[in-house]
Structure 1
Amino acid sequence: MKRGPQRIVCLTEEPTETLYALGEQDRIVGISGFTVRPSIARKEKPKVSAFTSAKIGEILKLRPDFVVGFSDIQAEIAGELIRHGVEVWISNHRSVDGILDYIRRLGALVGAGARADAYADQLQRGLDDIAREAAALSRRPKVYFEEWDEPLISGIQWVAELVRIAGGDDVFPERAAESLAKQRILEDPDEVVRRAPDIILGSWCGKKFRPEKVAARPGWGVIPAVRDGELHEIKSPIILQPGPAALSDGVREMAKVIRAWAARVDR
C-alpha cells in the first residue's frame, strides 16, 4: 500500500518535475498552468493555478490530500486552501543546497525517500562534474544575469550559485542574497555599466530575451559583454524554477556559454 499523500496538487513546476522523476506522477491530480517540464504533464494533468493565483474551486473539486507550493508569494493561495481544510506545504528554498534538500524532503513525504536521495545525489554529481570542468578555465568571466527588463531585476541566489559552479562570477552577489524580486531591482542601470560584465545572460520570465534591446540601452555599448556580442538567453523554464531543471539543463547551458567565452578570449 502506498504511503503518504495520494492526491497532490502542485502549484508550481518543481514538485511536478520532481515527482515525475521519482516515478510518483500518479499521485498528481492538478498542476500549475506554467508547467512545461515534463511536457507530458501538460497533457495528463488538469491545470488549476498560475503563480500568484489559483482556481480554488477547481482545486477543491480534485479532493487533494496535499498541496505543494513555493514561496511567500503563494501565501494567500495557501491560506485559502488551509481554511478549506486542505493540508498545504509551501517551501521557501532559494539556494542550490536548498533545491537538493527540497527534492529529498518531497520524496520522503511521498514514501520515496531512497529514490529521492539517489536522484539528489545524481544531480549533485552533475554539478560537481561541471565545477571540475570550470576549474580548468584560464579565466573566469564576470556575469550579469537579468531576470526581468522592466524594471531591471538581477538574478536570485540559486542562479548566482549556478553561475559560479559553471565558471563565472555574478556581478551582483549582494543582490542575489535577497529573496524577493523587488529587492533585486536595479534602480540605476548604469550600475551594470560600472560592473562591466563579460557575459550577459537574460531570462525574462514568460517572454523572449531580446539581446538587441539590451545592447541599445543608453551607455551600455561600453560593457564588454555588449561590445563583444556576449548576450545570451537562458530559457526561463530551465533556470527560474528552484527545481531539478536549474541543476541540470540550466547550469549546463550557462557552462556552455562560459566555456565558449573562455575559448574565444584564450585565442
Structure 2
Amino acid sequence: MRFPYTFTDQMGHQITLPHLPQHIVSLVPSQTELLFDLGLEDRIVGLTKFCIHPKDKVKQKSIIGGTKNFKLEVIDELKPDLIIGNKEENYEKGIAALQEKYPVWMSDIYTLEDSLEMISQIGKLTGTEVKAQKLVQGIALGFEKLRPAQPAIPTAYFIWRKPYMAVGSDNFIDHMLQRYGLSNIFADQPRYPEISPEQLQAANPQLILLSSEPYPFQEKHFAEFRELCPQAKIKVVDGEIFSWYGSRLLKAPEYLQGVIAEVK
C-alpha cells in the first residue's frame, strides 16, 4: 500500500494517513489488545485506564483517561498520527474534538462479521495485513466449528445490579447469544434495559447468565436471582468473552461451547 492513503471507517468517516502510523492511541480495551496482538507494541503510545490486556504490556503506556472522558491534553502531548475508537464505547463530544486534530478511525460493532471486518481494516491501517488476516481466519474457523444449543435456551444476560440491567437488542452481546442458541428473552427491549424483579419473574428465563463485567457478579448473587426464578439455571460468565470483539474472539468458541454444554 502506498501512502498517502484514504480509509473509510465503519461509521462512514474518511481519514487520510500521510504515512504508516507510528504513534497510535487506542480508546477501546478490546481493540487495544488487538493492536498488541498484531505486533504493534512499539507503535502504541496511549490507551485508556480500562485497557487491561495484555497485562504485562499496557502498564508501560500512557493513560489518556477513560473511554468516555479523554484527557485531551495528554493525547496532544503524545502527538498521535492515528487514533482508534468505537461508536458505542466512546463519547461523541470527545471523538469530535479529536477528529478536529487527528485521523480518528471508528469501529461500529454489532455482529461477529463486523468484528472480523474491523480486524481486517485495522490490519490495513497499520500495515499488519498478514497477521490480521491470520487472526480473522482463526476466529472464523473457530466459530464455524461451534455447535449452537438446540433447542434454543431462553436466556437473560445481566450486566448490572442495583438496578438490574440486562442485555437487550441491537448490540454485540445479543448477537453472540442469539447466534449460539441462547435466545435472549429481552431482545424486544432497548439495548441495555433496566429490568425490574417483576419483569424477570414474568419473563421466566430457563437460564440466567451473570456477567463478570462491568458489574463483577459472583456466585454470592445467585440467591437473589434464584428467589425470583427458582427453576432457572444460573451461571457467572466471562464478560470479556461475550463482549470483547477483537483478538480475544480466538478464545471465545471453546469457552462458549463449554457454557452451552454446562447449561443444556
The partner residue of 1:32 within 39, 45, 48 is 48
* Residues 138-177 of structure 1: pairs in structure 2 closer than 5 A: 139-155=151-167, 157-175=171-189
Q: State the TM-score, normalizing by the size of structure 1.
A: 0.80
CA offsets 1:81-100 (integer angstroms, 9 cap, x no match): 233x2221222222221111
Q: 1:250 to 1:203 in 2, by over 3 A?
A: farther
1:46 and 1:243 map into 2 onto residues whose CA distance is 21
2:199 and 2:139 map into 1 onto residues whose CA distance is 34
Q: 1:143 to 1:218 in 2, by over 3 A?
A: closer
- Percent sequence identity over matched residues? 22
1:10 and 1:31 in contact (8 A); partners too: yes
1:199 and 1:241 map into 2 onto residues whose CA distance is 22
2:195 and 2:262 map into 1 onto residues whose CA distance is 31
Q: CA RMSD in A?
A: 2.6
Counterpart code for 2:164: L
1:48 and 1:54 in contact (8 A); partners too: yes
Counterpart code for 1:159: I
Counterpart code for 1:196: N
* Residues 21-170 of structure 1: pairs in structure 2 closer than 5 A: 21-71=37-87, 73-83=90-100, 85-131=101-147, 134=148, 139-155=151-167, 157-170=171-184
1:165 and 1:218 map into 2 onto residues whose CA distance is 26
Counterpart code for 1:147: I
Aligned-residue offset at 1:250: 4.3
* Residues 170-249 of structure 1: pairs in structure 2 closer than 5 A: 170-175=184-189, 178=190, 183-203=191-211, 205-213=213-221, 215-216=223-224, 220-222=228-230, 224-225=231-232, 230-245=233-248, 247-249=249-251
Aligned-residue offset at 1:122: 0.9
Q: 1:218 to 1:130 in 2, by over 3 A?
A: closer
2:146 and 2:166 map into 1 onto residues whose CA distance is 23
Aligned-residue offset at 1:214: 5.2
2:35 and 2:75 map into 1 onto residues whose CA distance is 19
Using the TM superposition, name which of 184-193 and 55-64 deviates more: 184-193
Using the TM superposition, name which of 232-241 and 107-116 deviates more: 232-241
Partner SS for 1:128: helix
Q: 1:172 to 1:261 in 2, by over 3 A?
A: same
Aligned-residue offset at 1:109: 0.9
Partner SS for 2:45: strand
Please identify which structure carries the higher helix content: 1
Aligned-residue offset at 1:173: 2.3
Aligned-residue offset at 1:27: 1.6
2:263 and 2:109 map into 1 onto residues whose CA distance is 31
CA offsets 1:9-48 (integer angstroms, 9 cap, x no match): 0011122111222222222111111112222232332222
1:106 and 1:90 map into 2 onto residues whose CA distance is 10
Partner SS for 1:238: helix
Counterpart check, 1:258 vs 2:250: no
Which segments of 5 or more consecutive residues in structure 2 lack a partner in the other structure?
Answer: 4-18
Partner SS for 1:15: helix
Instruction: Give the number of equivalent residue pairs.
Output: 245
Counterpart code for 1:168: L
Aligned-residue offset at 1:187: 4.6
Match for residue 6 of structure 1? Answer: 22
Aligned-residue offset at 1:139: 4.0
1:144 and 1:171 in contact (8 A); partners too: yes
1:8 and 1:66 in contact (8 A); partners too: yes
2:63 and 2:35 map into 1 onto residues whose CA distance is 16
1:218 and 1:123 map into 2 onto residues whose CA distance is 35
